[in-house]
């Protein structure tokens, strides 16, 4: 059965995930996770929540999915040690240096490659497998065909996002917030500049809106395809979202996954409405994401925030008392006190939000309420939260109870349950039973007391009682039942923690003393445009960054730059699906003189195994010496530091875009399709005095990059 993986940004969401039926949760601690703004968990309380999850058979994955600096390694490993001692099931890791340290310091540790690592094709998956990762969290840009290839050719578990927010940029290679605000998404502090309004300019045409704000994703109707392709864990995004969102999404996906292999069940209309109310941006979800070929349109430029479900409109507004208004709305969806509504003006702009404290049904889809917020007739109403009891976790474990109350023998109570097909049991004995003098304790009375599991977390359907009419006080049978269930709970948790990571104290001690700092790299000139390029001496690697990966384009660049007889390297694209790999291979076959490649994603290291000299570029995000060592072990001839390091002394020109897109901005701006492509060079996005250039790269499909408009060249 496939795993349902839920977010837990706080304790309430953790409980919601358990009650909704999640098979696993992912959560972060106080630092080194990509959602540092969430409430998160602490080294002190993690153990209790891991035990609680393990009791229900739910796994806990701790996110250490940020880049880590050399001088942070000791504190990072200290926090990781707390998670190891708490018996967490796996760590989700982006930084390959951090992964190397974890493997050495904590034997048996299970590592999952974060989506921030950007694994999206077979070549990248092979590198992750060689490094000892058990699972890869595939990037959201991974095509369905590539999922099939990865599953067919590796032994990796595959995790895929199916619900929630979608980063507009390729995960791990978004540097906009870091460069502009000093708040890095790769360090857990993203300012979400993508959710702000921008103005697109091309020639005399302009369009304004939330041009970088991706719609939320809902792949509920593609679960069967994904399961057949090899996805083993279906992931819900949302560690920054409310507990009711987690409960709603987990509950719906639980039902779908429970029926996936038999009926290929599809999302019911009411469930889709519930998901939209819980959280959605715009009128429609992305129901296929990037699964299919080409560069899709993923932006709804009218919205950047939760819009919920459109339910009706404001009918009229009347003065009620001073500073109060009685509002009547027409709603085709039932409303009740405690619901939340968001209102949009006639031009589609978000205008107000109101909590419904005392709403009255007026008949014929009419509802009235009193509010201090001044609304206007005609405004559209959207339901953004639903009143309801968030409830306590009512998830329970089935236990079988056995009682023997025979005169002359000790009172015997056994509690047992099944975990992974194995029977686990706990037995306790009481005092010697005495024959009843007047009123024997009947079989049904013993069974009733033995099945009273209370708040133990168990429930009992089968209770086997053997008695000869001995007298057993209720207090005695209740006490033994509680002891048996407590012991069973401890055994069940311990069973589910067999094989957990442990601490190698010698290795841990070495890391705790600090690390080696820094790493050397060659000086490199990145040639993206022919104009203003001056070929440097042989001490500098000239790197061609073609707009099209064809031999004709590369030959033209070489001729224009005067590099026909000079050494040069070819930059590989940040993203390359399986079809793109074939295009790259054809280019390399057509131009055998290309022997040096600059890789910007882990997949590029596969070419080092074929004799190419591969330089790991800044896109690999090597921020510490251990990461540089790991890339060297994978075959890199040299490693450039991540842009997050602030080191640019070895880079001439703009090597990487601030964002890399697998979607098409021209579809966003011009509402075109590939058949009537509106692409022209020179389109810019502007915001608050800043301007960015949109550049296209063609492989088998189009990719785009967001670059600062004015590039300073030395």
Query: In the predicted model, what is the mean pLDDT of residues 281-298?
Result: 94
SS (H, E, C) 316-370: EEEEEECCEEEEEEEECCCCCCCCEEEEECCCCCEEEEEECCCCEEEECCEEEEE
pLDDT level of residue 430 (50, 70, 90 thresholds)? very high
Q: What is the CA radius of gyration of the chain?
A: 30
Give pLDDT, residue 710.
63
Give pLDDT, residue 651.
74
- By C-alpha distance, which of 391, 341, 313 is closest to 17? 391
- By C-alpha distance, which of 264, 272, 269 is closest to 248? 272
Give pLDDT, residue 535.
64
Q: What is the CATH number of the domain that holds 377?
A: 2.40.30.10
Query: In the predicted model, what is the mean pLDDT of residues 693-713?
Result: 86
SS (H, E, C) 207-249: EEECCCCECCEECHHHHHHHHHHCCCEEEECCCCCCHHHHHHH
Question: pLDDT > 70: what percent of the chain?
Answer: 95
Asked whether the predicted pLDDT for residue 556 surpasses 50, the reply is yes
Give pLDDT, residue 560.
83
Angle at 152 between CA 149 and CA 155, to 5 degrees: 115
Q: Are 456 and 482 in contact (CB under 8 A)?
A: yes
664 in a domain, yes or no? Answer: yes
Provide the residue range defining the domain that includes 444: 397-496
Give pLDDT, residue 714.
32
Q: Are residues 565 and 702 in the same domain?
A: yes
Asked whether the predicted pLDDT for residue 389 surpasses 60, the reply is no
Report the 10 Å Cβ neighbour count for 125.
28
Give the 3-state secondary structure of residue 187: helix
Question: Mean of the per-residue pLDDT values for the chain?
Answer: 92
Q: What are phi and psi of 608, to 5 degrees?
A: -65, -30
Alpha helices, DSSP H, located in 535-635: 551-561, 578-590, 625-633
Question: What are residue 198's DSSP bridge partners?
Answer: 209
Q: Are residues 225 and 349 in the same domain?
A: no
Q: Are 133 and 105 in contact (CB under 8 A)?
A: no
User: Checking DSSP bridges between strand 233-236 and strand 380-385, what pairing results, if any?
Assistant: unpaired
Angle at 485 between CA 483 and CA 488, to 5 degrees: 110
Q: Are residues 532 and 467 in the same domain?
A: no
357 in a domain, yes or no? Answer: yes
User: Checking DSSP bridges between strand 540-544 and strand 523-527, what pairing results, if any?
Assistant: parallel
Asked whether the predicted pLDDT for residue 78 surpasses 90, the reply is yes
Give the span between the Cα atoms of 624 and 614, in whole angstroms: 19
Give the span between the Cα atoms of 694 and 673, in whole angstroms: 18
> Sign of the CA dihedral 627, 631, 632, 637?
negative
Side-chain-facing half-sphere of 25: CA atoms under 13 Å: 35
Q: Are 516 and 70 in contact (CB under 8 A)?
A: yes
Give the span between the Cα atoms of 182 and 190, in whole angstroms: 9
Q: What is the CATH number of the domain that holds 119?
A: 3.20.20.70
Q: Are residues 608 and 531 in the same domain?
A: yes
Give the span between the Cα atoms of 196 and 213, in whole angstroms: 8
Query: In the predicted model, what is the mean pLDDT of residues 132-146?
Result: 98
303 in a domain, yes or no? Answer: no
Q: Are residues 31 and 97 in the same domain?
A: yes
Q: Are residues 424 and 374 in the same domain?
A: no
Q: Are residues 565 and 704 in the same domain?
A: yes
Q: Are residues 154 and 21 in the same domain?
A: yes
Give 367's contacts (C-beta < 8 A, 6+ positions apart).
Answer: 328, 329, 331, 335, 359, 360, 361
- By C-alpha distance, which of 424, 314, 442 is closest to 379? 314
Give pLDDT, residue 265.
61
Give the 3-state secondary structure of residue 277: helix
Give pLDDT, residue 533.
60
Give the span between the Cα atoms of 619 and 86, in whole angstroms: 34
pLDDT tens-place string over residues 60-74: 999 999 999 999 999
User: Checking DSSP bridges between strand 135-137 and strand 217-218, what pairing results, if any?
Assistant: unpaired
- By C-alpha distance, which of 621, 616, 619 is closest to 606? 616
pLDDT level of residue 391 (50, 70, 90 thresholds)? low
pLDDT tens-place string over residues 476-492: 999 999 999 999 999 99
- By C-alpha distance, which of 337, 338, 275, 333 is closest to 308? 275
Q: Are residues 379 and 412 in the same domain?
A: no
300 in a domain, yes or no? Answer: no
Asked whether the predicted pLDDT for residue 48 surpasses 90, the reply is yes
506 in a domain, yes or no? Answer: no
Query: In the predicted model, what is the mean pLDDT of residues 37-53?
Result: 93
DSSP code for 595: -
Report the 10 Å Cβ neighbour count for 162.
26
Q: Are 308 and 384 in contact (CB under 8 A)?
A: yes
Burial (CB count within 10 angstroms: exposed 0-12, middle 13-18, buried 19+), residue 513: exposed
- By C-alpha distance, which of 240, 276, 272 is closest to 383? 276
511 in a domain, yes or no? Answer: no
Question: Into how many domains does the chain fold?
Answer: 4
User: Hunting for tokens 């670059």 — which residue is that?
Assistant: 707
690 in a domain, yes or no? Answer: yes
| Residues composing the chain | 714
pLDDT tens-place string over residues 580-634: 999 999 999 999 999 999 999 999 999 999 999 999 999 999 999 999 999 999 9
Give 687's contacts (C-beta < 8 A, 6+ positions apart).
Answer: 193, 196, 197, 198, 199
Asked whether the predicted pLDDT for residue 90 surpasses 70, the reply is yes
Q: Are 213 and 168 in contact (CB under 8 A)?
A: yes
Q: Are residues 353 and 413 in the same domain?
A: no
pLDDT level of residue 713 (50, 70, 90 thresholds)? very low
Q: What are phi and psi of 48, to 5 degrees?
A: -65, -35
Asked whether the predicted pLDDT for residue 711 surpasses 50, the reply is no
CA distances from 185 to 117, 176, 303, 522, 693 (A): 13, 9, 22, 27, 21
pLDDT tens-place string over residues 497-549: 999 999 999 999 888 776 666 677 888 888 886 655 666 666 788 899 999 99
Give the span between the Cα atoms of 623 and 191, in whole angstroms: 21
Q: Which of 455, 481, 496 is the last residue of a domain?
A: 496
Q: Which of 278, 301, 330 is the last residue of a domain?
A: 278
Q: Are residues 128 and 81 in the same domain?
A: yes
109/266: higher pLDDT: 109
Alpha helices, DSSP H, located in 26-106: 46-55, 73-85, 96-105
586 in a domain, yes or no? Answer: yes
Query: In the predicted model, what is the mean pLDDT of residues 184-196?
Result: 93
Q: Which of 496, 514, 535 is the last residue of a domain?
A: 496
User: Hunting for tokens 């707009």 — which residue is that?
Assistant: 547
Q: Are residues 559 and 580 in the same domain?
A: yes
Angle at 384 between CA 382 and CA 389, to 5 degrees: 135
262/406: higher pLDDT: 406
Give the 3-state secondary structure of residue 273: helix
């Amino acid at each position: 059965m496939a795993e349902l993986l839920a977010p837990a940004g706080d304790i309430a969401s953790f409980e919601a995930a358990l009650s909704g039926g999640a098979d696993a949760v992912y959560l972060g601690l106080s630092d080194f996770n990509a959602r540092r703004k969430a409430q998160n968990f602490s080294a002190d309380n993690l153990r209790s929540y891991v035990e609680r999850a393990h009791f229900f058979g739910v796994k806990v994955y701790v996110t250490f999915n940020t880049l880590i600096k050399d001088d942070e390694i000791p504190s990072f490993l200290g926090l990781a040690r707390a998670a190891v001692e708490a018996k967490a099931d796996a760590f989700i890791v982006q930084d390959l240096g951090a992964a190397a340290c974890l493997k050495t310091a904590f034997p048996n540790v299970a590592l999952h490659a974060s989506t921030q690592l950007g694994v999206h094709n077979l070549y990248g998956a092979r590198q992750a497998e060689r490094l000892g990762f058990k699972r890869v969290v595939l990037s959201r840009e991974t095509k369905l065909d590539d999922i099939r290839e990865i599953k067919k050719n590796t032994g990796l578990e595959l995790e895929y996002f199916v619900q929630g927010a979608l980063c507009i940029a390729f995960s791990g290679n978004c540097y906009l917030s870091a460069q502009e605000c000093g708040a890095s998404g790769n360090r857990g502090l993203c300012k979400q500049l993508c959710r702000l309004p921008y103005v697109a300019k091309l020639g005399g045409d302009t369009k304004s809106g939330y041009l970088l704000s991706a719609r939320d994703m809902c792949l509920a109707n593609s679960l069967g395809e994904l399961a057949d392709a090899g996805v083993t864990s279906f992931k819900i995004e949302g560690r920054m979202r409310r507990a009711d969102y987690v409960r709603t999404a987990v509950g719906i996906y639980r039902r779908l996954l429970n029926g996936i292999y038999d009926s290929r069940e599809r999302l019911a209309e009411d469930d889709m409405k519930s998901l939209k109310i819980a959280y959605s941006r715009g009128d429609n979800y992305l129901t296929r994401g990037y699964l299919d070929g080409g560069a899709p349109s993923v932006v709804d430029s009218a919205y950047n925030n939760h819009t919920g479900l459109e339910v009706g409109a404001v009918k009229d507004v009347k003065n009620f008392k001073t500073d109060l208004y009685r509002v009547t709305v027409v709603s085709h969806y039932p409303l009740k006190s405690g619901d939340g509504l968001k209102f949009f003006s006639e031009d589609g702009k978000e205008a107000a939000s109101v909590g419904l404290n005392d709403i009255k049904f007026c008949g014929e889809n009419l509802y009235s309420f009193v509010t201090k917020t001044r609304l206007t007739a005609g405004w559209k109403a959207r339901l953004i939260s639903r009143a309801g009891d968030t409830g306590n976790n009512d998830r329970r474990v089935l236990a079988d109870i056995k009682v023997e109350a025979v005169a002359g023998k000790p009172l015997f109570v056994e509690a047992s349950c099944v975990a992974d097909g194995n029977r686990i049991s706990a037995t306790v004995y009481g005092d010697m039973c005495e024959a009843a003098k007047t009123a024997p304790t009947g079989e049904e009375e013993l069974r009733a007391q033995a099945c009273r599991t209370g708040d133990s977390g168990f429930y009992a359907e089968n209770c086997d009682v053997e008695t000869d009419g001995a007298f057993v006080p209720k207090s005695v049978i209740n006490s033994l039942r509680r002891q048996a269930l407590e012991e069973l709970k401890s055994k069940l948790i311990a069973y589910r923690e067999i094989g957990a990571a442990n601490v190698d104290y010698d290795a841990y001690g070495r890391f705790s003393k600090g690390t080696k700092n820094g790493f050397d790299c060659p000086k490199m000139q990145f040639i993206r445009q022919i104009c203003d390029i001056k070929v440097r001496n042989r001490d500098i690697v000239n790197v061609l960054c073609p707009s099209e990966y064809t031999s004709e384009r590369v030959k033209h660049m070489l001729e224009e730059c005067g590099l026909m007889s000079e050494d040069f390297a070819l930059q590989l694209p940040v993203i390359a699906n399986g079809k793109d790999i074939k295009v790259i291979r054809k280019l390399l076959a057509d131009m055998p003189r290309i022997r040096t490649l600059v890789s910007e994603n882990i997949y590029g290291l596969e070419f080092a195994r074929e004799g190419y000299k591969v330089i790991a570029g800044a896109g690999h995000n090597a921020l510490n010496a251990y990461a540089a060592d790991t890339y060297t072990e994978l075959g890199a001839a040299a490693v450039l530091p991540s842009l997050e390091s602030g080191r640019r002394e070895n880079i001439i020109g703009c090597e990487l875009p601030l964002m890399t897109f697998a979607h098409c901005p021209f579809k966003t701006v011009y509402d075109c399709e590939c058949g009537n492509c509106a692409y022209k060079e020179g389109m810019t996005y502007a915001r608050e005095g800043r301007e960015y250039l949109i550049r296209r790269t063609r492989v088998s499909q189009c990719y785009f990059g967001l670059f600062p408009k004015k590039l300073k060249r030395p």
